[in-house]
Structure 1
Amino acid sequence: MLASIQAQTQQFDIASIMGGLYGDGIIGLKGAFDRSWVQEVAEDIEVLFQEALQRPGGTLNRGPNRYYVETHPERLRGFVDLVSHSWVVAVCEAVLGPEYKIVEIGFDVPGPGAVNQPWHRDFPTPPETLIGRRLSSLAFNVTTVDVYEDMGPFEIAPGTQWDDLSEFEHGMFPPKSLYGRYKERAQQKMPKMGDISARSSLTIHRGTANLSNKFRPVLVLGVEAPDATQAVQHNLQVTRTFYESLPDQVHRHLACRLVDQLEPLVQAHSIEGLLMGDT
């Protein structure tokens, strides 16, 4: 299995991967999965989202009508397919090194009426990036619907993962006086079911207003270098039975806590600056 994955990853050009993530801060692969696979993921997310809405602390508010839910890997039928996909593995190894760690699986759900978020990054720039100029974490996104302009597409300002925001709010939110820089660079992403993107969570971005009557769920996979120092705490847990069923290529990278029975997750990574939207 490991030899097979290694052979598949060699089809991807490391220089292009590194150039994209160190340059624009985002890259993608179109048609990575069949639409039927994405539909299964969408069904699982819908179940998990409804469960989370009923549980205290089950969701994080990321702005009006916008939610984030971190979940358990084994509750998603597509988890193993995603983390063992040859492109995902190639990107992780190229940017984060061969001992990268899978630290988070969850999903964003921007609903009808979601407003523009303020421009932001997901956490303060860690020293290995600010001083050492090295990326130590990545976020992979997989949309579960075809995205159109009225659905509040994700918007990103390429190249801004290197901006120093340490003097501004929480090291994550640029002041409005700098918004012109991000609006000039802004690219809206409208992926289709089956596409994958990988980005540095430090690249300045925002969710835009969802003017449609549709939800736009997107699966999120978080991966880090083994020496990453950013302070976001995750609670990835898997049952021993599930862990033992995983291919070696997967469980050797899984930074998780083994449990006999899954415990309900209380969402911890709140970003206060997003709660009111772009006011």
Structure 2
Amino acid sequence: MAGDDHFDLESNIADLRNDGITGLKGAFSRDWADDMREDMMTAFWEAIQRPGGAVGRGPRRWYVEIHPQNFRGFVDLVTHPWLVGMCTAVLGQDYQIVEIGLDVPFQGAKYQPWHRDFPSPVDTYRDRKITSLAFNLTGVDVTEDMGPFEIAPGTQYDDGRKWKHEMFPDKSEWARFQERATRKYPNRGDISCRSALTVHRGTEHGSPIARPVMVLGVDAPGAGHAELHDMMVTREWYDTLPPIARDHLVCRVVDDLQPIIQKHDIEGLVMGADPT
């Protein structure tokens, strides 16, 4: 797992509150990230073969939720001191891990429309309080032709209630996001932390190399996103978790794992978008 345990948490929190995104370079080793990529692609090829196993996020782009114990680095991730520190400082001592999955664009993926991942709660658009976090980890070293993630810093506090589904700003507003747009080029082992309300999009993917990204969703109590997911773990695996992981995990404890049927389908991302 070896990576960088040296970080300036206060600076990261300030960046998150100002820009809606921050990150830690070299949080994990490249070998650790390579194992993660293997687990992601195994999960993807299994899920894509069954109904409801993978949902479209645009042409040649899919999202797959996975069982935590099928990602061998899950405990390393949720106990990493930087991730724990960010969750505790922003979401409170009782933060809830509600989602683990992966986003995979392949060659031919198109620009997504500018969007956020769910409607903004009043706590955020009125009171400027962040109530959920998304942590992303890339499975490859991202290059320009791999459809890098593009984000409009500072837009996490936009109201958005007049947007389509309260998630998709009208195309007449896109110029404002494009003026702020920043593309991200993480390497294997890096972690990013963002508000899923910060307006963002995937870009056109021309490389023959797929770009799988691990996604961990964490809520403050009451944010409600656990209802969109259905994490489950076996009792045997659950009992091996350290308390810092077990106490924050929102999941069903079952005798046998069942295939995951996706609950969170974002209809507005099914079609690609004109980048202008």
Partner of 2:264: 269
How far 1:233 moved relative to its partner?
1.0
How far 1:19 moved relative to its partner?
1.2
The verdict on how the C-alpha distance between 1:116 and 1:67 changes in structure 2, with shifts beyond 3 A counting, is same
SS at match of 1:42: helix
Q: 2:226–2:250: 8 Å Cα contact kept in structure 1?
A: no
SS at match of 2:108: coil
Partner of 1:54: 49
Q: 1:139–1:220: 8 Å Cα contact kept in structure 2?
A: yes
**How many percent of aligned residue pairs carry the same amino acid?**
57
Note the alpha carbon deviations across 1:140-196, whole angstroms, 9 max, x for none.
000000000011000000000011110120000001111110000000000000100
Partner of 1:3: none
Is 1:169 equivalent to 2:164 in the alignment? yes
Paired residues for 1:1-279 under 5 Å? 12-229=7-224, 233-279=228-274
Note the alpha carbon deviations across 1:61-93, whole angstroms, 9 max, x for none.
000000000110000100000000111101111
Q: Which amino acid aligns with 2:74?
A: F
Structure 1 unaligned spans of 5+: 1-7
TM normalised by structure 2 equals 0.95
- More deviation, 141-150/127-136: 127-136
Could you tell me how far apart the structure 2 residues matched to 1:28 and 1:230 are?
A: 23
Q: 2:98–2:218: 8 Å Cα contact kept in structure 1?
A: yes
Could you tell me how far apart the structure 1 residues matched to 2:69 and 2:141 are?
A: 25
How far 1:214 moved relative to its partner?
1.2
Note the alpha carbon deviations across 1:89-141, whole angstroms, 9 max, x for none.
01111100111010000000001000000000000001221233211000000
SS at match of 2:48: helix
User: Number of aligned pairs?
Assistant: 271
Q: 1:127–1:229: 8 Å Cα contact kept in structure 2?
A: no
SS at match of 1:54: coil
SS at match of 1:222: strand
Could you tell me how far apart the structure 1 residues matched to 2:11 and 2:146 are?
A: 30
CA RMSD of aligned residues (A): 1.5
Q: 1:121–1:201: 8 Å Cα contact kept in structure 2?
A: yes
